[in-house]
Chain A
């Protein structure tokens, strides 16, 4: 009885995933092994040509794939650090404040991403507040180019990912009893080492979830590199889109998508495995010490 109702509960999610994710994905993978004649007409004969074109060209490997993965990873690192401090600050604030602080974190998500990114362009622009501040304080003698480079794209990606990281870490931090840290301190730990050896390891699942989420969002960034990269910061998602809509080479666009998916999945698997084995090793070290 219970078994059957559980299966029933899975039906909506599984059928939605199958219809709108798995089936299109199979189609995209199949497409990536086809080719297109010059006018965009599909040639359905099996070919590895798209993969050869991508994987044997330094432009696609370095300027596109490596840049996408590298920027996404760096942005994830910043997002997790910033998000962790944010979540910690919220958890340690007065309980009556917490819902309001959470609301503040969620607020940006209610504004359209394009609008948020465009406003970031105003902030980072030559006459924007950041540059005005830098010039006013004398840190820079004239406005510095903050826009249309990799740094701008990084800032944009961090801005997008941080709320998600805060939410996933906040949930975990909230469930860790404060008494654990107090107990550590009563047996001689400094507040810092109590945090490092008690709270931080216990909040690892939140960090893991937050960073996986952040990396997933960053690696498929689309609006941010288009608007903040100034057309120079090439990104996999943008390249796939343009290959489909401008060059009209759907098979090659599909190949770019599949390669991004495979690389992302491999990196996430590796990352989860690394984090898991690190946290599993910790208690052993503790007993040995």
Chain B
């Protein structure tokens, strides 16, 4: 008798929050967290009142974000191209409906990489350098390979931007996404130049501050941040093109509010939201024709056209094998 009451009570406790939620429509959005979510939150009030919905954010991206999408715990997921194509392959997302996501037509074509997701904004990976230590302005990614900077250049470990760099090196040496060997051969040379593969932005900042590093693959926005921290660095987009850092957004399949989720994606692509990505985060909006006067962010069709963005549908199935090659050929001495 008693035990049964306890069990009933526990079930009641578990069920209670669901009943409470059911009274108002709720949209759960997996986003990158931190300043990124804060920026999205700024314009959310108008969306909430217009649609009679409560939007809540959970900090999840990458593996965590896709896991939550597959478990149908979130309505909208943020990601990058790798997680986007993994999600597409695992049938995690709804197609974006141009009849609801009307802002799609206002975007740069590069943003519409798939029917199942869209790029909301672009960042730029280029070369950050210490002008007091580097003679002249670097112009090419290949400047990281220059022998005079051996031991004083850095990049991260195996990540999306380094994958773009491998593909670029393959393309410059007669290969491509399907013929990656020339890329790895070139990156192995870079590996010998590198004494530390950085993993945290403050870590790279310190390496620049102590002059252990004079040149590195870094984000434009982070170089501005370094300057504010009192480390005088310059940023250059190499002539081969800066590497794109993309933030994608997707509507999760099999959730009760997919139409609202589509509307939310449309909201992220609205002029107001798009402008904030530039003003608050320093990212280039996907939307064309915004007035970004007074905001120091590169913004033009030509700039987005020049960004390096490989064919990730081809890359995703190879990422595991490439990771092993990266460790063996680039990292290992």
Please name the residue on chain B nearest to A42 by beta carbon.
Answer: B90
Q: Mark B200-211, 1 if CB is under 8 A from A, else 0.
A: 101100100011
A245 within 8 A of B: yes
Query: B residues within 8 A CB of A247?
Result: 319-320, 323
Give A231-257 interface residues, CB cut-off 8 Å to B: 231-232, 234, 242-249, 252
Give B283-329 interface residues, CB cut-off 8 Å to A: 316-320, 323-324, 327-328
A-B contact pairs, 24 of them (CB 8 A): A38-B89, A38-B316, A38-B317, A38-B320, A39-B89, A40-B66, A40-B86, A59-B324, A59-B327, A63-B327, A122-B206, A127-B210, A148-B196, A231-B331, A234-B331, A242-B158, A243-B323, A245-B63, A246-B319, A246-B323, A248-B63, A248-B66, A248-B86, A249-B320
CA distance A147 to B206 in the complex (A): 12
Query: A residues within 8 A CB of B90?
Result: 39-41
B109 within 8 A of A: no
Interface size in chain A (residues, C-beta < 8 A): 32
Docked-complex contact A248 and B320, CB < 8 angstroms: yes
Q: How far is the CB of B122 from chain A (nearest CB, A)?
A: 21
Q: Contacts A39-B89, A125-B210, A245-B62; is A230 near B327 (CB within 8 Å)?
A: no
A118 within 8 A of B: yes
Please name the residue on chain A nearest to B62 by beta carbon.
Answer: A245
Q: Mark B135-173, 1 if CB is under 8 A from A, else 0.
A: 000000000000000000000111100000000000000
User: Which of A39, A59, A118 is the one whose CB lies under 8 Å from B203?
Assistant: A118
Query: B residues within 8 A CB of A118?
Result: 202-203, 206
A166 within 8 A of B: no
- Please report the number of residue pairs spanning A and B whose Cβ atoms sit closer than 8 angstroms: 88
CA distance A121 to B206 in the complex (A): 9
Please name the residue on chain B nearest to A241 by beta carbon.
Answer: B63
Please name the residue on chain A nearest to B333 by beta carbon.
Answer: A232
A108 within 8 A of B: no
Q: Mark B62-86, 1 if CB is under 8 A from A, else 0.
A: 1100100000000000000010011
**Using a CB–CB distance below 8 Å, which chain A residues touch chain B?**
36-41, 59, 63, 118, 121-122, 125-127, 145, 147-148, 226-227, 230-232, 234, 242-249, 252
B332 within 8 A of A: yes
Query: B residues within 8 A CB of A36?
Result: 320
Please name the residue on chain B nearest to A41 by beta carbon.
Answer: B90
Docked-complex contact A248 and B197, CB < 8 angstroms: no
Q: Contacts A39-B90, A246-B323, A247-B323; is A147 near B196 (CB within 8 Å)?
A: yes
Please name the residue on chain A nearest to B320 by beta carbon.
Answer: A247
Please name the residue on chain B nearest to A232 by beta carbon.
Answer: B331
CA distance A41 to B328 in the complex (A): 25
Docked-complex contact A126 and B210, CB < 8 angstroms: yes
B113 within 8 A of A: no
Q: How far is the CB of B245 from chain A (nearest CB, A)?
A: 15
Docked-complex contact B196 and A230, CB < 8 angstroms: yes
Q: Contacts A245-B62, A245-B63, A248-B63; is A231 near B86 (CB within 8 Å)?
A: no
CA distance A63 to B157 in the complex (A): 16
Docked-complex contact A232 and B197, CB < 8 angstroms: yes
B259 within 8 A of A: no
Please name the residue on chain A nearest to B157 by beta carbon.
Answer: A231
Which 6 residue pairs of A and B lie closest in terms of their CB atoms, listed nearest first?
Answer: A38-B317, A231-B197, A230-B196, A39-B89, A247-B320, A148-B196
